Amino acid sequence: MAGNSQRRNRRTSNKKGAQVGSGGQRRRGLEGKGPTPPASARKGHKKNRLASAKVRHESKRPAPRRGGPKGTNELVVGRNSVVEALREGVPANTLYVQQYVDNDERVREALQLAADKGLNLMEAPRPELDRMTNGLNHQGLVLSVPPYEYAHPEDLTAAAFDDGEDPLIVALDGITDPRNLGAVVRSVSAFGGHGVVVPERRAAGMTASAWKTSAGTAARTPVARCTNVTRMLEGYQKAGLTVVGLAADGDVELHELDALSGPVVIVVGSEGKGLSRLVGETCDFRVRIPMPGGAESLNAGVAAGVVLYEASRRRA
């Protein structure tokens, strides 16, 4: 009997206890986990590693130099350049001054002009200015100029039509010297034009140098940018403008062109190559400026000024 009792007790002690529930884990396991994140956001994925490497690489890039890419501040470097830029009203935002810099007349004038204009004044050690300018000879003064805010080509015609005037616009094709751009802006302002259009690539932009050459007229004369000069000109033609290209071998002389009295866009090419082929073919007229003195060509700014004067005279 004792043996049987022990066997029963042993069997009773070996019985399974109460079953433990899943606690809802199985049900939650069947639920969706949301949309799958993109490969670039999944840690360990090849695209995620490439994106991380790109961020690390960009963080090591040096500070932009003068005339940097679109969207970066331009740096005017050196005492004479900084003072001239401040005198001409270049729209700067910050003047950096080296610590313990020799306080000569140019430094004092730069500080006074910056204070009068309400610019930020930042004191920085020489190694920091060396890094900012990539080792250029800054002489203890660096002026930061924010990116120029370009207009859209259609803004120029819209402004003219809103004022009840025929648009008078200058488009530049292949002009790479910012001083030429500044000179054209100055002529457009002087003769009542409505703006200048430049290409986004392989062309001069509104740098501090262009602004200085414009003698401050860039503050009231808009400059627009286009991705493709030919398409931009075709858009102007659809808006009713006559496209006049300047060419040394043009078919029409300037004084013979009646179109200048109406809505017109004047296209100026580079001094060396002139108008590009596609731009030249798009023009309604190819006009030459008579030069009895025998010169082969005119500076882009001078040529634009001559034609703008003739257009202004006819409109008056």
Confidence check: pLDDT of 316 > 90? no
120-124 and 94-98 beta bridge pairing: parallel
End-to-end CA distance of the chain: 134
pLDDT tens, residue by residue, 147-157:
888 999 999 99
pLDDT value for 89: 84
The CATH number of the domain covering residues in 153-315: 3.40.1280.10
CATH topology of domain 74-145: 60s Ribosomal Protein L30; Chain: A; (3.30.1330)
CB within 8 A of 280, min separation 6: which ones? 245, 247, 274, 286
Our CA angle for 111, 116, 117, nearest 5°, is 100
Taking the C-alpha atoms of residue 176 and residue 106, their distance in angstroms, rounded to an integer, is 30
Stretch 21-32: mean pLDDT? 58
pLDDT value for 237: 94
Lowest-pLDDT range of 187-201, 239-253, 281-295: 281-295
C-beta separation of 210 from 178 below 8 A:
yes
The domain limits of the chain are 74-145, 153-315
Lowest-pLDDT range of 28-37, 110-119, 295-304: 28-37
pLDDT tens, residue by residue, 250-292:
888 898 889 999 999 999 988 778 888 999 999 999 998 888 7
pLDDT value for 91: 87
